[in-house]
Amino acid sequence: MFAASPVVELAGSRTMACRGPRGTAPPALALRVRRWPQPGSTGRHAGLRAGAATRPSLTTGIYCRFGLNHEARRAAPTWAASSSRHSGFTPEDAMLLDTLIRSQERRVLRDGDTVTSHVGASGALPSGTSAAMSVHGPKFQGEQTERLIAALPTPFQNALQAMQQQDSRRLLFYLHQIVAMPEDEMVAAVQTIPRTTFSEFLRSLDPLDVVPENDPTHGVHINPGLWMVLNMGAIIDEWGVRVLYARLLRQMLTLMRALHASGSVLNVNDYVPLLRAAGASSDVAVVKLLWGQMIEHGISYWRQGSIYNEFVKARLLVEPAYFGFDKTRLAMTARNLHRRGRVRLHAETIGGLDRLRLATRQRSYRFGLNKNIPHAEDLSRIMRKPRSATRMFYYIQHWGFHVTERLLCSLMRGFGRAGALRFIQYRILEDYFAITVRQNKRCDEVYVGPTPPRTTPHKDPLRSRTPTMKPSARLMEAAIDVYCSNGYLSTAFTIVDYLSSKHRIPISPKAWFELFEWTYVLSSPAVSTGWNYVGFRQRIPSTDAVEMIWNTMTSPPYKVEPGFKQYDLLIRSLLGQSKIHQAMKYMESARKFHQKQCADCESAALEYTRARQTGVDATAALRRFQRARFLKEYMWHRMNGWCNDLLKHKWRPKELHEGSRWIPDVIRDWRDFIRNPVQYRTATGFVEMYDPAEEIPEWIHVRDDTLRVPVREGGETHLAEIHQAQYRVASKHSVGNLMSTRLSPLAILKGDLIKARKRTRRGRLYLARQAERLTAMSDERISSASTFSGQGDGPDGEGQGEADNWDDDDW
């Protein structure tokens, strides 16, 4: 065992401190690194923590504020240079620290069991406690914990049991029962639970671990068309957010309020699942409230680099799950570039871009909007200013937090949302990775190479002269996201090529798929029209860019095997360019994915039916069946879109006769993916074909909504109203609102949905009743921010879609 020195110095202004945990003491004493504010600082974070009674005196001690790897640190005065009698870490404290460390290794063998001895937070045994009692501490505490848990209400006991069994589905079910309890009973139960058990329970609700197992749509972008056609109102709310994410956030905030009412506060690590849940719900307001609450409760000095990484990802919506796997939501647009740097757009140009946004919002409903304001504001408008990311970057550097590649990549994506590419080039790529990116605007040439060694220090003392990190595949993916989201596709390709050749980083299939998808997004009419309107045509890919990337990644030496999503993007790109015959070739190849998925859905349905009949636990079988059913209908919807584009194609006069003879063959081969009736154009008019053996999808009106979009005209900004009508399609392809406990899986497999609904008392008026419910809830919608502040009509809140009532077999 080492002997602690009288003075301990770590990176930045830090000193070793120990703090007794709340509630039941853990089996081992946790030692944490604690940071002290700079004397005289009046910052937003440091100023609030300057008055703690346990902090050392900083009137005479001077410390170094530079990073650990900075050359100026060697000559700067540190804690070691200050007087020991004024230092907060005395020789007696060093002896106490050595005693605490030694006591953790003391083991006592009694009755064949190994028991760890415990000491108090001050290093001595509690008064009136003998050594024998301290030996039996863990056993006594375990029995006491079991008695406390046995006295809890039944929902809490079942939830803790599900947590121990790692059954996330039962855990979410009993969590719904917990938050439905009366407030006084919930507070009393939370006060009874040991503090460490409550922290573990809260961390078991991490959405990044719970939701992928319980959300069949995880990893798939749900657009408004798919939302209506597949009747997914119970899965995706009107903001385009998973209902499971929004419900989980409200429930976790209710637990947090109950903990505060019992007289305790959350630990720093307990805020990680809350930040992730707020980010997954795309609720930036709750993220900022949670971050500010750490300061109010006096625990902000426990923050480490990992906590800042989670905050940056949630605040700037970095993770794909945080923006609904939709790259168009947070991509930089020409409208957001106004007054960014040297970009100044004319008033007429701004008006035209606002009208373009108004036209694209017509059929997007509320997807991708900020839910905390009454009018329509895109999430990209919140991220368009780099002030929050810049302030966080300098704060992390100033206080000497450990900077990792994960944190830098998250900050890069945050700066990319605001279009701050120069900051990324100089302060991140050059300072940390020694990568220089230069672009010649005259000839549109991009240079990417190593940064030459610097002989003189920077004017800014926080900038290091030598780079400290080596690039990896994570940096490659972050660079693709940053530069492609801003329209610099060629720059992203050059950086990928440089990292692959210079640093021997292989180009993964994920990187190829990201480049391929971003190329399709940038060439789509909604994005390319805006860049073309302001004259930034260099940010629009060429017409054959999508096909060129496809040929490159599927040919040697890469030989990447694309999936159904990549085939979908390629086919839609070819159909948009009127390359019908090439698109048909790839449609035949993509059809194999749907055939395989149909076989998986059949086997999953039979497995689930067998599990229900035998009476065994059918949770795993149900999850597989729901996932397989959704993917099958998702593929059908995308292939139905291909067929609609083919039938709606405007043939040239010389090709019209050939197309008229060719379309019947297409209808015969792809009849399973074409809606009934089908209509197409001929030389003399239109032909409509009706199949009486197939069902006709019913479009049921759900509700009318009015959306107010800011539009600037005549030098003034006014709110233009958009009247939108929402519909749901009742057909055999609907995947929402199906109770698997009341509906036979074989009926779902056969597609006999309408008859099954009649048998389960869910007739045609079901969606109309849901429309009345949504209309009544639209005026009483309670956001997660109001739940955070303790307002609302219940612990669970209201108004987050069509699936507030949780069922064990609902999803």
Q: How high is the pLDDT of residue 422? A: 92
For residue 212, pLDDT beyond 80: yes
Task: Provide the pLDDT for residue 658.
Answer: 66
Residue 40: inside a domain = yes
Asked if residue 705 and residue 768 are part of one domain, the reply reads yes
In this prediction, residues 126-136 reach a mean pLDDT of 37
pLDDT tens-place string over residues 587-597: 999 999 999 99
Query: Does 672 share its domain with 703?
Result: no
Sign of the alpha-carbon torsion through 538, 542, 543, 545: negative
Looking at 616, 646, 677, the residue that finishes a domain is 677
Domain finish residue from 110, 129, 145? 110
Give the span between the Cα atoms of 262 and 256, in whole angstroms: 10
Radius of gyration of the chain, Cα coordinates, nearest whole angstrom: 30
Q: Say whether 319 sits in a helix, a strand or coil.
A: coil
Determine the angle formed by the axes of helices 619-647 and 564-576, rounding to 10 degrees.
Answer: 10
pTM: 0.78
**How many Å from the N-terminal Cα to the C-terminal Cα in the chain?**
54
767, 733: one domain: yes
Peptide bond into 153 cis (omega under 30): no
pLDDT given for residue 788 in this prediction = 63
Do 707 and 651 lie in one domain? The reply is no
Question: Is 688 part of any domain?
Answer: no
Distances (CA, A) of 156 to 544, 790, 809: 58, 22, 20
Average pLDDT of the chain to the nearest whole number: 78
Kindly state whether residues 721 and 633 are assigned to the same domain.
no
Indicate whether 103 and 10 sit together in one domain.
Answer: yes
CA distance 317 to 605: 36
- Residue 802, pLDDT score: 34
Whether residues 671 and 721 fall in one domain: no
Question: What torsion, rounded to 10 degrees, do the Cα atoms 499, 504, 508, 513 define?
Answer: 20
Residue 564 lies inside a defined structural domain of this protein: no
Q: Give the contacts of 53 (CB within 8 A, at least 6 positions apart).
A: none
Domain that holds residue 17: 1-110
Query: Pick the residue with more confidence: 774 or 356?
Result: 356
Task: Indicate whether 315 belongs to any domain.
Answer: no
Strand pairing class (445-450; 435-440)? antiparallel
pLDDT band at 445 (very low <50, low <70, confident <90, very high): confident
In this structure, is residue 104 part of a structural domain? yes
> Contact, 451 vs 482, CB < 8 A?
no
Residue 239's pLDDT band (cuts 50, 70, 90): very high
589-605 as b/e: b if 16+ CB within 10 A: ebbebbeebbebbeebb
The total number of structural domains in the chain stands at 3
712 with 743, same domain?
yes
User: Residue 121 falls within a domain, yes or no?
Assistant: no
Residue 435's pLDDT band (cuts 50, 70, 90): very high
Residue 762 and residue 673 share a domain: no
Q: 638-642, 684-688, 757-761: lowest mean pLDDT where? A: 757-761
Let me know whether 655 and 713 are in one domain: no
Has residue 553 been placed in a domain?
no
pLDDT given at position 114: 37
Q: Are 599 and 638 members of one domain? A: yes
* Model pLDDT, residue 187: 94
> Does residue 392 lie in a domain region?
no
Cα–Cα dist 168/162, whole Å: 7
Most confident of 448-457, 550-559, 684-693: 550-559
Structure tokens at 391: 């302030």
Same domain, yes or no, for 703 and 673? no
**783/69: higher pLDDT:** 783
Query: What is the spatial distance between Cα 444 and Cα 487, in angstroms, rounded to a whole number?
Result: 13
Backbone phi, then psi, for 810, in 5-degree steps?
-90, 155
Q: Which residue has the higher pLDDT, 658 or 739?
A: 658
Q: Output phi, psi for 231, to 5 deg.
A: 55, 60
Question: β-pairing, 698-713 with 686-689?
Answer: unpaired
Which of 51, 76, 110 is a domain's end point?
A: 110
